[in-house]
Amino acid sequence: MPGLNDPLMIVTDLDGSLLDHHTYDWEPARTWLERLSERKIPVVICSSKTAAEILPLQRQLGLSGAPYIAENGAIVQWSGSHEAALLPRSKSYSDICQTLQKLRERYRFKFTGFADVSEKEVAEWTGLTPHDAALAKMREGSESLIWRDTAEQFIAFEQALSAEQLSLVQGGRFWSVMNQGAGKGAALAFLLQHFRHPLGHRWVTIGLGDGPNDAPMLDEVDFAVIIKGYSKTPVTLQRADTQHFFRSARFGPEGWSEGLTHFIHQD
C-alpha cells in the first residue's frame, strides 16, 4: 500500500465521485483534500465537464494549478496556463457538431445536443444554475447529447460515428461524442507522458470514479476506486489485480474518502 510520502497522484471523476451526484456537495472529502494539499500531492480532475466548468471548481476545491482532464478526455491540460490542449489529429468542437448535423440529416437520427439548445434547457437537464449551464456549453472537443431514438437507430448511430473517426462514451447523464481514442484512459496516459514528477519519480496513481466512462481511466491507474454509483450500467474493469481495486460501500464524496483511506497508508 502506498503512503503519503510516496510520489502520489490522485486522478478523480467529479459528478458522483468527488461531488455528490444530486447536490454537488463535497464536504465529506474536505479532510482528505486538505491532507493531500499539505503534502503537495496533485489531485487531477478527470471529468466530462468542460475546462470552463473545471477551473472555478479547482479554485473552490483548492486544486488550482493542478493538471486536469476535461470533456471525458477530449481535453488534457497540464502546463498551469489556462490554454486547454487538444490531443493531436482530433476534430474540433465545431467539426464534431457539423458531422452530427450531417448524420442527423442523412439518417434521421433523433437526439438533442448541447449545441441544439439554450443554456436554460441545459440548466433544466442538469440542475445547474443558468450561469454554470453556460460554462457547460463552452465545449472544445466533444458534444454531449440526449438520445431520443430507438435501440436499432442507436446501433446505426454508433456505426456512422465510427466511420467518421468519432466515438460515443456514456457519462453520468449524457452521451458524449468525441474523437476516437480520446477517452479518459488515453487522456491520462497522455498526461503521464508529459507531466513529470518534480524529482523525476514515477507517479503512483490512484484513480476514483463511479461511471462506465471512468473504466478506461481506472484501468490505467496503479490503484482504482470504483465509487458506488447510480448508473444502470455497471463499471467493469479489464484489470484482474483485485488487490489493486476497491469498490466503496458509500456513494459520492463519502465513498471517495473511503477509497483513499483504504489505499493510502497513514503514519
Torsion of CA 117, 147, 19, 119, to 10 degrees: 0
Query: 207 pairs with which residues across the strands?
Result: 11, 224
Closest CA to 149 of 126, 127, 175, 172: 175
Identity of the residue, 15 or 143, whose beta carbon is nearer to Mg ion in the bound complex: 15
Q: Is 13 a catalytic residue?
A: yes
Min separation Cβ 69 and Mg ion, Å: 13
How far is 127 from 132, CA to CA, in rounded Å? 10
How far is 8 from 205, CA to CA, in rounded Å? 6
Identity of the residue, 107 or 125, whose beta carbon is nearer to Mg ion in the bound complex: 125
CA-atom Rg of the chain in angstroms: 18
Q: Are 248 and 227 in contact (CB under 8 A)?
A: yes
DSSP secondary structure, 222-266, as one string: SEEEEEE---SS----S---GGGEEEEEEEHHHHHHHHHHHHSB-
Q: How many residues bind Mg ion (CB under 5 A)?
A: 6
- In the list 10, 11, 12, 13, the residue contacting Mg ion (rule: CB under 5 A) is 13
Q: Are 206 and 168 in contact (CB under 8 A)?
A: no
Identity of the residue, 73 or 103, whose beta carbon is nearer to Mg ion in the bound complex: 73
How far is 134 from 122, CA to CA, in rounded Å? 8
- In the list 9, 16, 19, 109, the residue contacting Mg ion (rule: CB under 5 A) is 16
Residue 134 CB neighbour total at 10 angstroms: 17
- In the list 15, 20, 132, 143, the residue contacting Mg ion (rule: CB under 5 A) is 15
Min separation Cβ 141 and Mg ion, Å: 18
Min separation Cβ 13 and Mg ion, Å: 4
Nearest residue (beta carbon) to Mg ion: 16
> Per CB under 5 A, does 71 bind Mg ion?
no
Q: Which stretch binds Mg ion (CB under 5 A): 2-10, 13-21, 119-127, 160-168?
A: 13-21
Min separation Cβ 259 and Mg ion, Å: 14
Q: Which of 13, 20, 132, 210 is catalytic?
A: 13
Q: Which stretch binds Mg ion (CB under 5 A): 14-22, 119-127, 136-144, 156-164?
A: 14-22
Contact set for Mg ion, span 159-218 (CB under 5 A): 172, 210-211
Supply the residues annotated as catalytic.
13
The residues that touch Mg ion, with contacts defined as CB under 5 A, are: 13, 15-16, 172, 210-211
